Structures are given as C-alpha cells and as structure tokens.
C-alpha cells in the first residue's frame, strides 16, 4: 500500500518501515536548544527557504586514543524524509560505542539511504544534508580543539554556499545519471534555498554531460 499521495494525487510515495519508525519515533532529537547537547555544532541549509539541519556532537577518545562520536543531537526543519534521515544518521554515528571521527568524515548520503531502506525518488534530496552537517560539526570540533590542520573544506568550488554544494557535487550527480536540473536538485538540493545559482548549475550540467559524452565517444572510437 502507498503511504503518501502527492498533492496532485497522481503520484504515490512508498516509505520503508525504517523511514516510518524514525519519523514517528525520532532518535536523539533535541526538542529544546536549552537541553544538554554536545559542544560541537554544525549547520547546513536555511529554515527560511527550505530544509535546514543543525547537529550537536560530543567527541571523546577511547582507551586506544581513537576519537569517537559519543553523542549526536539534532534539529531539522523539513519533511518526514529529512527527519527520518537525520534520526537514522544520529543512530549510525553513535552506535557501537560511537563512530570514529575519521569514518564519520567519509559518510555519504547513500549510506543513510541504505540504512533507511531507500526513499522515494522525489524525496532523495532530503537525505543529502546530513553528511554535510556532520562534517561541519566535526570541523567545529577540530577548530575548538586546536586541530585546524585537520579541518576538511568541501572539495571543489562552492556553487551554493547555503546548502554547501560544490561543482564537484554537481559533477558526481551527472556521473550518477542526473542529466537535468531537476534530477541534479533531487540529488544535491542545489538552489532550493538560493535560486540565483541555478543558471550556473545548468551551465555546469551541460559542461559535464558534454565532457563525459566526448570521453565515451573517444574511448569507443
């Protein structure tokens, strides 16, 4: 059975049991910012324009000196998919005595989607902020503990500073089959808060499509 119908009534969205569980019973949600939360904070997005995510971490070293995420609290302004994605991410980051920081830095939206059992195609964009907010909070940890050389900047040239989408993110989306602006937005959320960047995004999509089509033709020659 379909769980949700689109507003137009012509599209049905199916949600996995994991998505529904994390939406109806979100884990590690910070209901009140006055409540105790970790000292390291990261934020991505803008609540004034669309989905926004804020996370608070606590990071401690274990007996072997490995830095682990021991607490992950969050607040998300967004839809059911965004809430479920953030909730699942908080579980992934803190389970098994806490995820090592180096491992957390390599988390991708696909990792969250896999644990959720997938999302409807129109809702995949709701999962792409989590890994960026997590990296922002880890960077805050590096900054506050004097480890500035470990700060990880988003690779590539920044195209959308609100959602922290770079030209490399757009290139990866095109490589994964996103051949239209709508598809790239679904995968990256670029321009959903600040549409002024969309003309440049469209130019990049055309550039990367031509680039990889030429490479394909060259290799096939």
What are the extents of the domains in the chain? 1-152, 155-221
Homologous superfamily of 155-221: BFD-like [2Fe-2S]-binding domain (1.10.10.1100)
**pTM of the predicted protein model:** 0.70
Residue 65, pLDDT above cutoff 70:
yes
In whole numbers, what is the pLDDT of the chain averaged over residues? Answer: 84
Q: How far is CA 67 from CA 71, 87, 125, in A?
A: 12, 22, 30
Least confident range of 7-21, 69-83, 131-145: 7-21
SS3 66: coil
Higher pLDDT, 157 or 98: 98
What is the band of 63 on the pLDDT scale with cuts at 50, 70, 90?
very high
Tell which CATH architecture fits domain 1-152: Alpha-Beta Complex (3.90)
Q: What pLDDT, in 10s, does the model give residues 33-61?
A: 778 889 999 988 765 555 678 899 999 99
d(CA 133, CA 52): 9
Indicate the SS3 state at residue 165: strand
What is the arithmetic mean of pLDDT over 131-135? 89
What would the mean pLDDT of 198-212 be, rounded to a whole number? 88
User: Mean pLDDT across the stretch 197-213?
Assistant: 88
Cβ-proximal residues to 162 (8 Å cutoff; 6+ apart), any chain = 44, 45, 46, 49, 193, 194
Q: pLDDT at position 35, please?
A: 80
d(CA 132, CA 47): 16
Helices (H) and strands (E) in the chain, counts: 8, 7
79 included as an active-site residue:
no
Chain-centroid distance of CA 193 in Å reads 15
Give yes or no on whether 1-152 and 155-221 have one common fold: no
- Verify whether residue 49 is a known catalytic residue: yes
Cα(45)–Cα(66) distance, rounded to whole angstroms?
A: 30
The pLDDT score that the predictor gives to residue 125 is 63
């Amino acid at each position: 059975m379909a769980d949700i119908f689109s507003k137009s009534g012509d599209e049905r969205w199916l949600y996995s049991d994991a998505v529904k569980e994390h939406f109806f019973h979100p884990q590690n949600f910070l209901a009140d910012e006055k409540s105790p939360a970790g000292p390291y904070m990261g934020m991505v997005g803008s609540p004034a324009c669309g989905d926004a995510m804020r996370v608070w971490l606590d990071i401690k070293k274990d007996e072997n000196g490995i830095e682990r995420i021991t607490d992950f609290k969050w607040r998300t302004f967004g839809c059911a998919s965004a809430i479920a994605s953030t909730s699942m991410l908080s579980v992934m980051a803190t389970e098994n005595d806490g995820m090592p920081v180096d491992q957390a830095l390599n988390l991708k939206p696909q990792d969250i989607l896999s644990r959720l059992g997938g999302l409807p195609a129109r809702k995949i964009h709701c999962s792409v902020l989590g890994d960026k907010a997590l990296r922002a909070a880890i960077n805050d940890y590096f900054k506050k503990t004097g480890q500035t050389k470990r700060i990880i900047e988003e690779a590539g040239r920044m195209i959308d500073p609100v959602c922290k989408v770079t030209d490399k993110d757009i290139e990866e989306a095109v490589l994964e089959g996103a051949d239209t602006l709508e598809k790239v937005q679904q995968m990256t959320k670029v321009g959903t808060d600040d549409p002024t960047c969309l003309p440049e995004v469209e130019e990049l999509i055309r550039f990367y499509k031509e680039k990889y089509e030429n490479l394909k033709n060259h290799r096939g020659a």
